[in-house]
Amino acid sequence: MTFAAGEPTTLLLMRHGETALTPEKRFSGSGGSDPALSETGRRQAEAAARLLAELGPVHAVVSSPLRRCRETAEPAARKLGLDIRLAAGLREADFGSWDGLTFAEVRDRYPEEWTAWLASPSAVPGGTGESLDSVTRRVEWSRDQLLARHTGQTVLVVSHVAPLRTLIRLALGAPPESLFRMELAAASISAVSYYGDGSASVRWFNDTSHLR
């Protein structure tokens, strides 16, 4: 992967706001329901939009096509005067039959699958879901497209836990198991800058100060 010289390209990585499933710690992937933001989630999206409008120039807004991300991106796009571009590669992982279950329910009902998923990025969750290796491939492709299209700019990326953790993991050069050691709260903002020499720097992580 190569980057143009000059100003870094910065991706502001925002997780979508809460849905009804978020506080219950239920799997909510791309293969099941497509929940809307809850009232709390809508308030979180508005609070994040106010912060983003104060940060300085944001040149583009890119969102997962799933409803909870589009609804999170809309207030920020309005305040920034930008359109939202949808990127299918930034959708959440497909969790197969785990979708809608709590983490505890998955551990109880599918203990062998759960253990395998935690141990290997090639494991397929929920029988018909998407491995983390597959998520990584499409997220890498989406990242490279963004960097090529927005060289030297700042881009707001509204997505989900698995894709955002993956972007941060790749920037750090961390192993796949690090994905399970990151906390990304609803409507949190992280930031990664990509430089002309090919290096990347994680500048913020899981910032929720705008929600207080």
Q: Which residues are catalytic?
A: 16, 92
Residues in the chain: 212
* Beta carbons within 10 angstroms of residue 147's beta carbon: 21
Name the helix (H) or strand (E) containing 172. Answer: helix 161-172
- Structure token pair of residue 11: 């991706």
* Alpha-carbon distance values, 9 to 99, 161, 180, 183, 201 (Å): 34, 21, 26, 24, 11
Residue 59's Cβ-count burial label (10 Å; 0-12, 13-18, 19+) is middle
In the chain, beta strands by DSSP E? 9-15, 60-63, 84-86, 154-159, 189-194, 200-207
